[in-house]
Structure 1
């Protein structure tokens, strides 16, 4: 399939996990992908794997200077963006009594402020028929201990799907979201947990998932690309759950 021939995607947080898988599949279907990442090393490593149809920008979604420079950086590679996957982010999880202002601000800066201003800055590059897709989370549907700040931040992102959709309708830009469940990514890498603790946490999560396995990044990418394609031309202001049913099956 060549659904995205002559199309360009910007994928924030595209150096690994769901973002990387989306870039890889977008390119595989004829498109060109621009990815962002927080370090030169991770961006370069991802570009080596993605090949000639990929470009990369070192940009931190939690840094306003980087966000304000994003449009200028993207114009070095493309004049228009057909798909914007607002994916950059990570989680840090603490009990209520251990949350401090730094933790609160860090997650809201990356997930909420980063998402909002990424779209704001990229809108001038998006024409009628283009698509914005937010990455939300199953954490907006399921109450989990230690997730209070992460869940609140992702709930704010979830709200952008509706409010951005109503504002961008007249421009012909569709806005949707994908809500991943427990996916094999590096979400725990910034939590301060060591490899053994991460393995233990994942081990405890698996039995709670209806399919008894974590999802693959490619399974999220499939949904993102569907939402960006002509096959989803009548889908707008919607969030699709890709969570093995964990948010509805108890």
Structure 2
């Protein structure tokens, strides 16, 4: 029997990288899985990769009405949600002197505001006793050059997990955070770099990690599975940092 047998799991941002690996693992552990993404083509490909019964819903955390529609689709086709993974987010950085209001708003709107309203709008569609897992970042635990707003947005969602867990105690809904460090995901390819530059970046990042490598999406998925399942039933408002010791040593 799988750790998520007969559970309904909804992964926001489940069409690539860590979200996709998590959706695949959840499905292999018995969950009925739904995912969101902003691109229909990658959503279709991801749903095929996860399994034939995967529900793929186009949604964008910047468009709050699309979240309402996504939750309605999940409830009508699968039922109420037992596991909600809030994984939509972006990384963008710039020197402090060059930071614009537009860039600030984009990062905060997706990473912080998007996370808050994704959870708020989920409330009518969650079963009592559900598990919510927010994607944080090890960058919130350290000082990172050119990443002030990104890191602060992830520190904000870390705080949300504590406070929302307190708010939802009456429904026994747990809110926890999984904070990855440097992980090999498609996000590096979206920075406008050549393949050679992406390879060089990953090597540079690996050199800064005590274990001398970056993580992979499959490793992160195991952390999400722990927080999603009953194995973490005594955890709420907490954080698991999976960064190879980068923020700790």
Aligned to 1:229: 229
Shift of 1:90: 1.8
Paired with 1:202 and 1:50, the residues of 2 have a C-alpha distance of 27
2:181–2:242 contact (8 Å) kept in structure 1: yes
Aligned to 2:31: 31
Write the deviation string for residues 47-98 of structure 1: whole angstroms up to 9, x where unpaired.
Answer: 1111123110111122223234332232232221000010111211111122
Aligned to 1:176: 176
Identify the range of structure 1 (51-60 vs 136-145) with the bigger mean alpha-carbon deviation: 51-60
Shift of 1:146: 1.0
- After TM superposition, the score normalised by the length of structure 2 is 0.95
2:9–2:83 contact (8 Å) kept in structure 1: yes
SS in 2 for 1:106: helix
CA RMSD of aligned residues (A): 1.4
Aligned to 1:136: 136
Paired with 1:92 and 1:187, the residues of 2 have a C-alpha distance of 10
Shift of 1:7: 0.6
Provide runs of 4+ in structure 1 moved above 4 Å: none
Aligned to 2:13: 13
Instruction: Give aligned pairs, total.
Output: 249
- After TM superposition, the score normalised by the length of structure 1 is 0.95
Shift of 1:206: 1.0
Gaps of 5+ in 2: none
Paired with 2:187 and 2:155, the residues of 1 have a C-alpha distance of 17
Bigger proportion of residues as strand? 2
Q: Is residue 220 of structure 2 the alignment partner of residue 209 of structure 1?
A: no
Write the deviation string for residues 17-71 of structure 1: whole angstroms up to 9, x where unpaired.
Answer: 1111111011101111100011101100101111123110111122223234332
Shift of 1:156: 1.1
Shift of 1:127: 1.8
Write the deviation string for residues 126-162 of structure 1: whole angstroms up to 9, x where unpaired.
Answer: 1222100110001101111111111111111111110
Paired with 1:76 and 1:25, the residues of 2 have a C-alpha distance of 24
